[in-house]
Structure formats: structure tokens, C-alpha cells
């Protein structure tokens, strides 16, 4: 197992390197430059040129890439000019917020999705199945940002049950209940689509598995129905559900961009959008590499979980 994990980690290196190249090239292709962004209305060609020189952007692309890569490998992600602080500090801080949001949403969508899918499969064609199918369909058909906007309107502005935005109350906050209150709406809005996708998949995976011979074997042994469903069938269905969880984790991470904007969540998604708009090259590059590394790492975890669950996978 250890060597398997190591192997997977090593194989992630070229992927991450490729990502650094892609993000670097894309950022280089984007018109507009940081100097213009910094100078705002006062960006005369002369000022821009001087500032670009100060920022080291006058060097050739390849040189800049290797300087950046080299610095990054030593842990120096550079300094964000739009925030005037080290990129790494900002990313770590923001990443924390995103992990809380996306992590909660991921837990919600995994638990609710699988639960809904299993119930739906267990009560196939029953009322619960139809109700779940319907709700899930609505869930995957609503743009998350629209849902978020509507939630703010209803729960925060009209009913005043929950705070509108942010991660902690500005005063008196900072504790867990406070975080939970702020987290409810964004996490739910973020989880809705993924919950729907996972529920649909879990349902069909369960139905697929329930038709397998080994389920009949379990029943022939006299195993109770509950254990057949939640032991034998669910465990086998997880083999096809887990990879989808991995993919959905990526979507949740990406989708957090919209949610972070709508709910003013201080996360990395919003930071990256701002950074792209401000042409904050180092921040975008560092942030994307971080997010991608997180995604790759998570996928390795998924594969490891998969291999732990399914002994047939050669490790």
C-alpha cells in the first residue's frame, strides 16, 4: 500500500508540472498587464513600462517561468502586488476558508447524496423514490448562484434567520456556532448540484448491485434486508460511487467560485477570480497550482480509498 501511494504521488508530479506550464501560458496570453491594473486610471504607457520593469515582467517568458518555478520549489511563491503580501500567506489563509466551505459542502453532498440514492433505490418506484428523484432533478437544474441569491433574499433579508454573508460575525464571532450559522447557506447552495448528481448515481449503482448474484446469495443465507441493503449492496455500490465522489469534489471546488462571490466567502475561488481580473500573475499561478495540487492529492486519496475498499484492484 505504501509503495502504491508513493507511486501515485510520483506520477502526480508531471501532471502538476504540466499545470504550472498551462497556467503560466494562459496568464501570459491574457491581454492587459499588472502594471495597468496597479496604476488604474493613471496607467500611461510610460508609467506602465517602468512599473513592469520594477516587477520583473520585462524578461523573456521562458526565463520568467523558470524563475517562478525555481522560487516556488523553494517555497517562495512570490509577492502578490494586488494584495501587497506574500502569495503563500494569502493562499493559505484563503485556502483554509475554501476548505471549510467546500469540505462542508462535500460532506453534505456525499452523505445526503448517497443516503438519498440508497433510500431511493431501496424504495424504488415508491413515494420516497419519486419525491427524491424530483427534488434531485430540481437540484441539478438550478444555477447555484441563482439559488444562493434566492436563499439570501429569503433567509437573510426577509426572515433574518441567517447572516447574509461572510464567514464570521464581525463582532462577537469566531466561535463554532458563529461559523456554522455563516456556513449553512453557502455550503448548502454549493452542495445542491453535487448532491443531485451523487444521488442519481448512487441510486443506479445500488440498483445495479442489487441485481447481482451475490445479493441473492446473501439473501439465500438468510441475511436481513437491512444488512443486505446497507452492508452488502452499499459496499459493492461504493466501488462505483467513490470515483464519482472524486469528480464531484472537483466540481464542488470549482463551483465554490460562484458561491464565494455571492456569499462573500473569503475563499480561494473568489481570490483567483479577482486575481485574474487584476492580472495578479503570481497570485493566479500560485493559487491555481495550489488548487490543482489539492485536486490531484484528493484524487490520489480517492484511488487509495478505492483500493482499500476493493481488494481486486492491484496496488
Site for other proteins in 14-53 (CB under 8 A): 14-16, 18-19, 22-23, 26-27, 29-33, 36-47, 51
Nearest-approach distance from CB 236 to other proteins, in angstroms: 6
Nearest-approach distance from CB 270 to other proteins, in angstroms: 8
Site for other proteins in 228-247 (CB under 8 A): 228, 232, 235-236, 239
The pattern of x and - marking residues 284 through 313 that bind other proteins according to CB under 8 A reads x---x--xx--xx--x---------xxxx-
- C-beta closer to other proteins: residue 73 or 160: 160
User: 79 by DSSP, 3-state: which?
Assistant: strand
Distance CA 218, CA 71 (A): 58
Nearest-approach distance from CB 315 to other proteins, in angstroms: 13
The pattern of x and - marking residues 264 through 283 that bind other proteins according to CB under 8 A reads x-x--xxxxxx-xxxx----
Nearest-approach distance from CB 58 to other proteins, in angstroms: 14
Distance CA 197, CA 177 (A): 29
Nearest to 192 by CA among 237, 269, 135, 271: 135
**61 interacts with other proteins by CB under 8 A:** no
Nearest-approach distance from CB 278 to other proteins, in angstroms: 6
**213 interacts with other proteins by CB under 8 A:** yes
Distance CA 150, CA 104 (A): 20
Residue 284, phi-psi category: left (phi > 0), alpha (psi -120 to 50), beta (remainder): alpha
* Structural contact between residues 252 and 194, judged by C-beta atoms closer than 8 angstroms: yes
Residue 277 to residues 145, 198, 227, 284: CA-CA distances in angstroms? 19, 33, 53, 10
Distance CA 60, CA 63 (A): 5
Nearest-approach distance from CB 294 to other proteins, in angstroms: 9
**152 interacts with other proteins by CB under 8 A:** yes
The pattern of x and - marking residues 178 through 197 that bind other proteins according to CB under 8 A reads x-xx--x-------------
Residue 215 to residues 133, 142, 212, 221, 236: CA-CA distances in angstroms? 24, 37, 6, 10, 10
Site for other proteins in 157-176 (CB under 8 A): 157, 159-175
From the list 85, 107, 111, 230, which residue makes contact with other proteins (rule: CB under 8 A)?
85
* Structural contact between residues 167 and 229, judged by C-beta atoms closer than 8 angstroms: no
DSSP H helical ranges for the chain: 2-29, 34-39, 45-54, 61-73, 87-122, 127-139, 144-151, 176-210, 213-220, 225-227, 234-262, 268-277, 281-309
Site for other proteins in 102-121 (CB under 8 A): 121
**Over the Cα atoms of the chain, what is R_g?**
23
From the list 215, 242, 304, 305, which residue makes contact with other proteins (rule: CB under 8 A)?
215
**258 interacts with other proteins by CB under 8 A:** yes
From the list 99, 223, 304, 305, which residue makes contact with other proteins (rule: CB under 8 A)?
223
**58 interacts with other proteins by CB under 8 A:** no
Site for other proteins in 130-149 (CB under 8 A): 133, 137-138, 140-143, 145-146, 149
**9 interacts with other proteins by CB under 8 A:** no
Nearest-approach distance from CB 69 to other proteins, in angstroms: 15
Amino acid at each position: 500500500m505504501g509503495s502504491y501511494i508513493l507511486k501515485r504521488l510520483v506520477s502526480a508530479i508531471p501532471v502538476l508540472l504540466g499545470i504550472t506550464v498551462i497556467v503560466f501560458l494562459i496568464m501570459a496570453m491574457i491581454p492587459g498587464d499588472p502594471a495597468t491594473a496597479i496604476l488604474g486610471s493613471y496607467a500611461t504607457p510610460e508609467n506602465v513600462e517602468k512599473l513592469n520593469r520594477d516587477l520583473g515582467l520585462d524578461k523573456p517568458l521562458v526565463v520568467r517561468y523558470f524563475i517562478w518555478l525555481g522560487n516556488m520549489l523553494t517555497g517562495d511563491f512570490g509577492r502578490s502586488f494586488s494584495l501587497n503580501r506574500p502569495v503563500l500567506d494569502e493562499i493559505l489563509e484563503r485556502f483554509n476558508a475554501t476548505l471549510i466551505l467546500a469540505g462542508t459542502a462535500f460532506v453534505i453532498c456525499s452523505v445526503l447524496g448517497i443516503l438519498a440514492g440508497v433510500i431511493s433505490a431501496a424504495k424504488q418506484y415508491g413515494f420516497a423514490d419519486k419525491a427524491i428523484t424530483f427534488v434531485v432533478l430540481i437540484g441539478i437544474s438550478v444555477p447555484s448562484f441563482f439559488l444562493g441569491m434566492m436563499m439570501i433574499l429569503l433567509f437573510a433579508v426577509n426572515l433574518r434567520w441567517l447572516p447574509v454573508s461572510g464567514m464570521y460575525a464581525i463582532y462577537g464571532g469566531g466561535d463554532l456556532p458563529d461559523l456554522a450559522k455563516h456556513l449553512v447557506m453557502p455550503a448548502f447552495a454549493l452542495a445542491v448540484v453535487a448532491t443531485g448528481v451523487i444521488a442519481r448515481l448512487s441510486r443506479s449503482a445500488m440498483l445495479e448491485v442489487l441485481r447481482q448474484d451475490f445479493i441473492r446469495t446473501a439473501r439465500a443465507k438468510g441475511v436481513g434486508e437491512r444488512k443486505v441493503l446497507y452492508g452488502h449492496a452499499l459496499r459493492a455500490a461504493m466501488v462505483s460511487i467513490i470515483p464519482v465522489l472524486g469528480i464531484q469534489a472537483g466540481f464542488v471546488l470549482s463551483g465554490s467560485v460562484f458561491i464565494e462571490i455571492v456569499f462573500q466567502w473569503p475563499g480561494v475561488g473568489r481570490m483567483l477570480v479577482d486575481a485574474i481580473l487584476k492580472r495578479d500573475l503570481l497570485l493566479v499561478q500560485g493559487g491555481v497550482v495550489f488548487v490543482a495540487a489539492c485536486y490531484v492529492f484528493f484524487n490520489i486519496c480517492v484511488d487509495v480509498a478505492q483500493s482499500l475498499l476493493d481488494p481486486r484492484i492491484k496496488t
